[in-house]
A and B are shown apart, each in its own frame.
Chain A
């Protein structure tokens, strides 16, 4: 537990990805089984325990702490679990810190009534960091800025494997992953690929650059629409069906209607969309269905989901990934004719006569409410990762608006001394006065040199500070490029921008000539 609590502690304070990887790598190399496996489970949200943390803390708290002091402390600290970890009295009768495996074993045997006693004696045996880490561990998701994928990457790095090797095995192994580590340490053979369907690492696309387009011989490429949903891999085998996100998280729980319908033997790649009467609904509709543990009947009807397949990795137990795209597409179409389940269809392969024609179709994407085009090399096998020269995404041209810089905040890592995060606003009328209302936030799009200029502007024009945030004289116009504008109930302006970035700094433009909120709202319908 000591090593684990130090790991969690340092991860929370370490922003850089490589540094996080190093910390995890060292931990997985130095920590014995089965504890490191339970740590890995915690970092990948796969811990096989459930602990009613809130209830137990309330129960313990009432008997252990002066309620007044606890309330004041809670107000100061801002987090109940952390307050408990810090306020917990140091006792002499502690004993050694519990091991993660001991905690998991004890919980699997404990009844509902035993939780408080167990937690109490563990807390007695730990230091402040240990108590905090234990409460994080028992609370489920530790939220230390590590994705499941990054934790797997660290395991792979530690033992000289590729993360894709881990992904391929992942759903066939279970906490504490003893056989996985035994294989990684070359003490045992590779664990058998699971009977349950597993995640296959995805093939990703590069943004299309002008030079790529110039050099491209279109006979070598197939084109499809770029769909504005989320990437999904459907892996089904022997009556079991799993839906994976692009990072390999199993998201089937949120989409029971798909899991029920998709009974086949194949691993397919596609886009998850909300589709009503054959029409793709805006992305914001799909968002209503994401990250839900339980799904109501009303949600199923209101936001009907659908998968638009575009590739096949495996059909009938046969691995197709080595075949060229054209052959895989042929197999996918054949499969579709044979099995084609409800809630699904295929992404159309577009036919076009010339580059000019394709370009004009791309230019029309915004009008048609489509995100852009995908160009896939006909001879490419299905390659994990983002290999160069195979798949291209050609997003529709961005929209732009002139907005006024209102607030700035420092970035992190290499940008920690620069005001690099900008909140900008558009004009609107309030009580007969023109006022600026914040409409978005951007962190990118500028060069290093422009960043230095923007940083200087912020420092020289600060009018107020709220903690880390500086408010500046509203006089600098930023041309903001963005993909779309959506209605939003969470923002005061009533709109939300997708993928905003700074496209130009308009040192020349007076602030009163910046765009109005009305203009931005007008782009909403046009953008689809």
Chain B
């Protein structure tokens, strides 16, 4: 007997994916009665849901960002939960602390909604687990073959080499506040750097949360409390504070940016970045292809990013692929 089409029970709509037999939305763009959330980034975890299901870490991150949630239910990785007519299991996505792929089993069919994910090792979160499935829903932030991230350690070495070359300048690195910030600190620590790493105030609460979860990040004081101009020191800030008034307190600041977008020179120039660090929390192109094909899915939906190229490539490989073009996803914030 032919299986029913996936759309009959998993419906892409303007406010996100809706699982009809389980009666819940996944990462909805606006307030929903029942929401399952993949991870804590603001374009996935929004305010105002009546009931939320996510990992304990994602719920904690949401509370830090959004205040009290409605009815919240934590679900550990790998524990199946029956939700009406479907079974929901959360599986590590390797994107940031608490990030999960949502595995939905319904009448012998399995769909995996991966949220945002990456494949390379991240010392601040559980690694991605590949789940064989029939339908794989993927992002395509870096869905073009020009995007191949360099090894993380090589990028951190670039930063340390620049500190040695310019010991009189403050190295101010723009990072996304949740995930990238803490991962970069940990990577710098792993490279043997043990001086303080100074933080912009906006990075404080998430970093403290990571530390409270047992991730040792060393000495991470507030840049605002620094005694001098922090010449030769590393300062992390949100990208928006690069080359802006906040940075005037530092010694001839040299601005860096840790992002997968730093692979493209035009984007580096556009941001006026002197030290581009290609460090991403998303898959690059080879990892996307390897993951999508590795799941064995016969159908693939692409939520956001450079969907066109990924759909083209998968079609060549005889995989049914379609672009969902979900609204509200900010791939440039990476």
Contacts and interface: CB of A to CB of B under 8 A. Distances in A.
A468 B272 contact: yes
Contacts of A73: 144-146, 309
Contacts of B264: 76-78, 82, 86
Interface centre among B144, B146, B150, B309 (most CB of A within 10 A): B146
Contact of B312 (A23, A68, A128, A416): A68
A371 to B, nearest CB: 35
A19 B166 contact: yes
Interface string B17-42: 00000000000000000000000000
A69 B248 CA distance: 43
B306 A76 contact: yes
A65 B313 CA distance: 12
Contact of B274 (A15, A22, A69): A15
A66 B245 CA distance: 45
A76 B144 contact: yes
A449 interface: no
B309 A69 contact: yes
A81 to B, nearest CB: 11
Interface in A250-272: none
B247 interface: yes
A417 B272 contact: no
Contacts of A22: 165
B270 A69 contact: no
Contacts of B147: 86
Nearest to B147: A86
Interface string A67-107: 01100110011110011001100100000000000000000
Interface in A1-22: 12-15, 19, 22
B255 A12 contact: no
B309 A72 contact: yes
B244 interface: yes
Nearest to A467: B270
Interface centre among A13, A14, A82 (most CB of B within 10 A): A13
A77 B272 contact: no
B275 interface: yes
B308 interface: yes
Given A13-B274, A13-B276, A417-B245, A69 B144 contact: yes
Contacts of B273: 13
Contacts of B313: 66, 69
Nearest to B272: A416
B134 interface: no
A77 B243 CA distance: 24
B244 A417 contact: yes
Contact of A417 (B146, B166, B243): B243
Interface centre among B150, B253, B308, B309 (most CB of A within 10 A): B309
A90 to B, nearest CB: 8
Interface centre among B255, B274, B312, B313 (most CB of A within 10 A): B274
A13 B165 contact: no
Contact of A72 (B268, B274, B306): B306
Contacts of B166: 19
A417 B253 CA distance: 10
B67 interface: no
A83 B268 CA distance: 15
Nearest to A13: B274
Nearest to A75: B144
A13 B306 contact: no
B277 to A, nearest CB: 11
Given A79-B265, A412-B272, A417 B248 contact: yes
Contacts of B312: 66, 68-69, 72
Interface string A399-429: 0000000000010101011000000000000
Nearest to B312: A68
Interface centre among B145, B148, B272 (most CB of A within 10 A): B145
B146 A83 contact: yes
Contacts of A14: 274
Nearest to B248: A417
Interface string B130-166: 0000000000000011111010000000000000011
A322 B245 CA distance: 52
B265 A12 contact: yes
A247 to B, nearest CB: 25
Given A68-B312, A69-B312, A13 B146 contact: no
Contacts of A66: 312-313, 316
A86 B263 contact: yes
Interface string B239-283: 000011101100011010000000111101010111110000000
Given A68-B312, A79-B266, A86-B147, 4 more contacts: A14-B274, A69-B145, A69-B312, A128-B150
Interface of B: 144-148, 150, 165-166, 243-245, 247-248, 252-253, 255, 263-266, 268, 270, 272-276, 306, 308-309, 312-313, 316
Q: Give the 9 A-B residue pairs with the shortest CB-CB distance, closest first.
A: A86-B146, A416-B243, A73-B146, A78-B266, A72-B309, A87-B145, A73-B144, A87-B146, A13-B274
27 contacts: A13-B273, A13-B275, A23-B165, A65-B145, A66-B316, A68-B309, A68-B312, A69-B312, A69-B313, A72-B309, A73-B144, A76-B144, A76-B264, A82-B264, A82-B265, A86-B148, A86-B263, A86-B264, A87-B146, A90-B148, A128-B150, A128-B263, A412-B272, A414-B252, A416-B253, A416-B272, A468-B272
